[in-house]
Amino acid sequence: MNQYIDPTGGLPGERFRKIRQARRLSLSSVARDAGVTASFLSQFERGKTDARIATLRRLCSVLGFSLADLFNGGAEDQVRVLRQKSRPRISAGPGVEKFLLTTPPVRNVEVYVSVFAPEASTGPRTYVHGDSQEILIVLRGAVKLQLEDEYYRLAVGDSVEYQSSTPHRLVNDSDNTTEVMWVISPPGDSYRTGPVLE
């Protein structure tokens, strides 16, 4: 027998809509990625229809949060403390440890910290993700940032701002471990760069 969830006056749908809009994702693109119609998603967001659990899981997955987050009423407005030892670790390349500092559901801003071993990088080629404002801050060591065909040497305390749609690549070309922080607003596709490992 199929299980349904009553949106209870549209609250989960309204919460979903707020997070979707904060990320500047269109209703049609989210519906497409979740395998539902735009009409259905519109009705869900307005509390006009029920949704199966499997459908809700797919919708939540598109925005990078869990079904529990969707029904945790008001959690997005509460103070949420994340201890360093509890940071979710994200799958990254060889020699790179990547940790999420923003707790789900991620709404207006997304923050990551990455630790790069000597000679480690974000990958062999530049990459893009969405079209968000992205700020990179060097917390420890020094790194080389490539933005299209330009290169920037950044040391501790330095920061740079660019659009995430700009082809970019970061490499620790030093002999020491480096640590950087990324601040991304609004969250785009970057929260789906890899599975949470722990």
Burial level of 80, CB count in 10 A (0-12/13-18/19+)? exposed
The residue that leads in pLDDT, 70 or 13, is 13
Kindly list the structural domains of the chain, giving each domain's residue range(s) and its CATH number in brackets, ordered by start: 4-77 (1.10.260.40), 84-192 (2.60.120.10)
Q: CA neighbours within 13 Å on the CB side: how many for 24?
A: 12
85-132 pLDDT, tens digit per residue, is: 888 888 788 999 999 898 766 667 889 999 999 999 999 999 998 888
Joined together, the tokens standing for residue 51 give 């949704």
- pTM, entire model: 0.67
143-185 pLDDT, tens digit per residue, is: 999 999 999 999 999 999 999 999 999 999 999 999 999 999 8
50-81 pLDDT, tens digit per residue, is: 788 888 888 887 877 777 667 765 445 567 78
| pLDDT on residue 180 | 98
Q: What 3-state DSSP class applies to 158? A: coil
- Helices 11-22 and 38-45 pack at an angle, to 10 degrees, of 120
- Helices 53-63 and 11-22 pack at an angle, to 10 degrees, of 20
